[in-house]
Amino acid sequence: MTHTRTDDDLTQQELRAAADAERDQDIEANREQLLAKLGATQTALAQTRWHLAQLRGNELYDTDFAEGPDGQDIDQLLDDARRLIQGAAGIALRVIGR
């Protein structure tokens, strides 16, 4: 007994194709969001380091951040975070093919 295509078979194929297309769209949207959030994180880290530098600088010289190791520790941790996020963004771009 051979199986011939029926309207039900075509409908199932169309449903699978539509589901695959929706999945592809969801993947693309999430990839875009991943790249956007990584970029926003890089920007936020740069801005955060700028504000910390202002607090530690001669003009404001906030002693809580300028004196002792805490301000330097925060700066180092922010720089480490920047490098990690930059690495993650580079890998994501490579995976996505951009």
- In the chain, the number of structural domains is 1
Q: Which of the 8 DSSP states describes residue 67?
A: S
In a domain, 91, yes or no: yes
In a domain, 32, yes or no: yes
In a domain, 56, yes or no: yes
In a domain, 24, yes or no: yes
- pTM of the entire structure? 0.82
Q: Is 58 strand, coil or helix?
A: coil
In a domain, 44, yes or no: yes
In a domain, 26, yes or no: yes
In a domain, 1, yes or no: no
Q: What is the pLDDT of residues 40-93, one digit of tens each?
A: 999 999 999 999 999 999 999 999 999 999 999 999 999 999 999 999 999 999
In a domain, 27, yes or no: yes
Return the closest-CA partner of residue 53 out of 41, 64, 61, 43. 61
* CB 78 within 8 Å of CB 49: yes
Helix ranges restricted to H, the chain: 7-56, 63-66, 69-96
**5, 8, 11, 12 from 16: Cα distances, Å:** 16, 12, 9, 6
* CB 8 within 8 Å of CB 51: no
Q: Which domain does 48 fall in, by range?
A: 7-96
